[in-house]
Amino acid sequence: MRYVNATALLPEDLIERLQNFAQGEYIYIPAKKDQHKKWGELSGYRKELDNRNRKILQAHNLGLSIDELADKFFLSVHAIRKIIYNK
């Protein structure tokens, strides 16, 4: 989430009305439900994790053990198990 100055975004009359409720405060305005982004969607990190998890599953299907996968992908054995058995 990034900070945006209200004067750069909102009309002056709306700013004046908002100042009746909060002056010099940070206000969070949530996204509409149909426009809400899932975690990692904006940064692309979700896509990176999905790609990594797909590689882990492929390697496991080719015969790599859970311990080998943990070493290869720098994850705990527990994390590898979650990826393999929750898919």
Res 87: pLDDT:
61
Domains in the chain: how many in total? 1
Is the CB of residue 18 less than 8 Å from the CB of residue 27?
A: yes
Res 39: pLDDT:
77
Over the stretch 22-47, which tens digit does the pLDDT of each residue have?
Answer: 998 888 888 788 777 777 877 889 89
Side-chain-facing half-sphere of 52: CA atoms under 13 Å? 15
Tokens read off for 33 = 């439900």
Q: Which of 48, 42, 40, 47 is nearest to 73 (CA)?
A: 48
Which structural domain, as residue segments, surrounds residue 15?
6-85
Is residue 1 in a domain? no
Residues 6+ apart with CB under 8 A from 19: none
**pTM exceeds 0.85:** no
Tokens read off for 44 = 């692309």
